[in-house]
Amino acid sequence: MTTVNSGAAGRVLVVGGYGAVGATVTSTLAKWFPGRVVPSGRDEVRARRLGGVRVDAGDPAGFRQVLDELGDVSVVALCVEPEDAGLARICLERGIHLVDVGATHRLLEEVTELHGLAAAAGATAVLSVGVAPGLTNLLAWRVNDAVGGAERIDLTVLLGAGERHGTDAVRWTVAGLGKPVTARAQRLTLPGFGVRTAHPFPFSDQYTLRRTLGVPEVTTRLCLDSRPLTAALFALRRAGLLRGVRGARQRQLLTRVFSRAHLGDDGFAVRADAYRGERHATLALTGQGQSRATGLVAAHAIRTLFTHGVPAGVHHLEQLTALADLPEQLAAHGITAAC
């Protein structure tokens, strides 16, 4: 039988709590739950200035010690990508809920394998939290329902090249550019951005949705708001010139270049299209600041853990009915739906 958690008491430890995503998680939750938010990161001075503590996600013993010292952490928000599922295991075996904004399929699969452990401990892990994965998963869920079970889903993500994306997110994107893809680019309209060419990109949503929604073919594509930058980047990839970014030094260099180049606005859009025979359903969301949007999705997921009954175990966003109306809730933050 599945335990349904009836709402967590205690505090939330935000790992990466002053980064581009984590800062929104920290500030939003501090408004909703004053005195119950502990931001953290490797910079002790910065963390303490915000009323938080030092945490290094790469130091499991130190992480255990922080949890022991704080004593009443009931939710950990993971706003930085660790090397493996070790931190998730530490939280879940203690019955501490986890909200993870990570976007790497391998890591999400490793955490998914902890489902039994989480369920036994009465803890809930919420994965695929953010924009992509995250809002894309929720839109996919809806368009899949709208066509009565899709044969194919296409997801498209447009990111603002002018946004100051966090270093950890840029590092992730650069690593993605070095990975092989097989699907083709696609032209389509994105609300507020006109007709765009989007290119296949290894976002985790396309892999998890095949399992969670049972859709045989799911592809996620990416473009930037700057057309020339999108064209240049994916021309380099096609020419095989980005395969080298698997090397640590080239990855660091490209991450530094992208972190400093701000060539557009900070708007973002996500769109989902589902197909079944002649049937087609489409939904899109658009807003400003994907880091902020990711933080807001995480904050809403944590609020749900504090206030609602959520089944124990490891779940992706689209598997939790308590979060089904998240797109509507985000309208209050300027993230709006468009068809």
Residues that bind ligand NAP (CB under 6 A): 15-16, 18-22, 41-43, 55-58, 79-81, 101-103, 130-134, 165-169, 172, 290-291, 294
Minimum CB distance to ligand NAP smaller for 42 or for 105: 42
Strand spans (E) along 133-261: 152-159, 186-190, 194-200, 217-224
Joined together, the tokens standing for residue 263 give: 């060539």
* Cα Rg of the chain, angstroms: 19
The gap from C-alpha 197 to its chain's centroid, in whole angstroms, comes to 23
Q: Dihedral, CA atoms, 285, 287, 293, 294, nearest 10 degrees? A: 50
CA atoms within 13 Å, Cβ hemisphere of 320: 29
Q: What minimum distance in Å lies between the beta carbon of 286 and ligand NAP?
A: 15
Q: What minimum distance in Å lies between the beta carbon of 14 and ligand NAP?
A: 9
Backbone angles phi, psi at 75, to 5 degrees: -140, 135
Minimum CB distance to ligand NAP smaller for 166 or for 313: 166
* Interior angle at CA 115, CA 113 and CA 121, nearest 5: 135
Q: What minimum distance in Å lies between the beta carbon of 296 and ligand NAP?
A: 11
Q: What minimum distance in Å lies between the beta carbon of 18 and ligand NAP?
A: 5
Q: What minimum distance in Å lies between the beta carbon of 54 and ligand NAP?
A: 8
Minimum CB distance to ligand NAP smaller for 282 or for 290: 290
Minimum CB distance to ligand NAP smaller for 101 or for 284: 101
Minimum CB distance to ligand NAP smaller for 103 or for 143: 103
Cα–Cα distance, 261 to 267 (Å, whole number): 16
Joined together, the tokens standing for residue 142 give: 């809806």
